[in-house]
Amino acid sequence: MIPALQARDIGREYLDQPTLDAVELHRNLREMAMLNRLPGGVGASRRAIEWLLDGAGAMVVLDVGTGPGDLPAALARHHSARELQVLACDLRPEVLEYAARRLARVGHVQLLEADARRLPLADESVDVAHASLLVHHLDPPDAVRALGEMRRVARRGVVVNDLRRGRVAYAATAMTVLGLARGRYTRHDGVLSARRAYTLTELDELAASAGLRRVRRSTAFLPRVVTVYR
């Protein structure tokens, strides 16, 4: 039965636990890279970032919570090192180790171990700050802090790609994850993520509390929605 989902679930995902099983983590990161190739995933993020960049050269993009590093890889495929540099940021060193191996041949990506709530970057030091499937991991006070930090460091804007909470979105997410993924972390966290996600109205309210204004949003019928804030 599909839950009512009026309130956001406060359960914790495996990826938010203090210690992680290395085998399950690597399986999860592989499966997330696969799921991110679906509509609403990394391609939608890349298009939103490029809309903000508007063809300008020598840009810097910060990917907060980079996970398997598929956004930096996608940006690198479409841009040269002279056009675009990417900072791939994650809180967990074991995740960055995996991303480092995956991005070893991508010359214009730099890895950064950092907490989204306390980014070790100067004000307006990047052009665009992006986060995919990160905000739903954070409870409201921390989500506002992370969005505020992204606002602080970004000159042009902030891109948030995340699940939206709702019964149709939950059903689509659960069917996709349970149908395609086999890893324990992915199957558990993917379904729970759909219950922990914010509604689009809640996300906009969090962003407004961080000093951001919505200027663009992808089609909202998909379980994942990409929002551009300035």
**So what's the pLDDT on residue 1?**
61
Answer for the pair 37, 68: CB distance below 8 angstroms, yes or no: no
**So what's the pLDDT on residue 131?**
98
| Distance separating alpha carbons of residues 26 and 20, to the nearest angstrom | 10
| Distance separating alpha carbons of residues 37 and 50, to the nearest angstrom | 18
Q: Which is nearest to 205 in space by CA: 128, 162, 141?
A: 141
| Distance separating alpha carbons of residues 216 and 230, to the nearest angstrom | 9
How would you write the pLDDT of the chain (230 residues) with one tens digit per residue? 677 799 999 999 999 999 999 999 999 999 999 999 999 999 999 999 999 999 887 899 999 999 999 999 999 988 888 889 999 999 999 999 999 999 998 889 999 999 999 999 999 999 999 999 999 999 999 999 999 999 999 999 999 999 999 999 999 999 999 999 999 999 999 999 999 999 999 999 999 999 999 999 998 789 999 999 99
| Distance separating alpha carbons of residues 61 and 54, to the nearest angstrom | 13
Answer for the pair 225, 40: CB distance below 8 angstroms, yes or no: yes
Residue 198 CA from chain centroid, whole number: 14
Domains of the chain from N-terminus onward: 19-164+198-229 (3.40.50.150)
Strands of 2-141, DSSP E: 59-64, 84-90, 109-113, 126-132
**So what's the pLDDT on residue 55?**
81
**So what's the pLDDT on residue 60?**
97
For the sheet with 154-163, list strands across it.
109-113, 84-90, 59-64, 126-132, 154-163, 224-229, 214-217
Phi-psi category of 216—alpha, beta or left, where left has phi over 0 and alpha has psi -120 to 50? beta
Q: What is the CA radius of gyration of the chain?
A: 16
| Distance separating alpha carbons of residues 33 and 36, to the nearest angstrom | 5
Answer for the pair 225, 164: CB distance below 8 angstroms, yes or no: yes
Q: Which is nearest to 50 in space by CA: 69, 68, 77?
A: 77
pTM of the model: 0.96
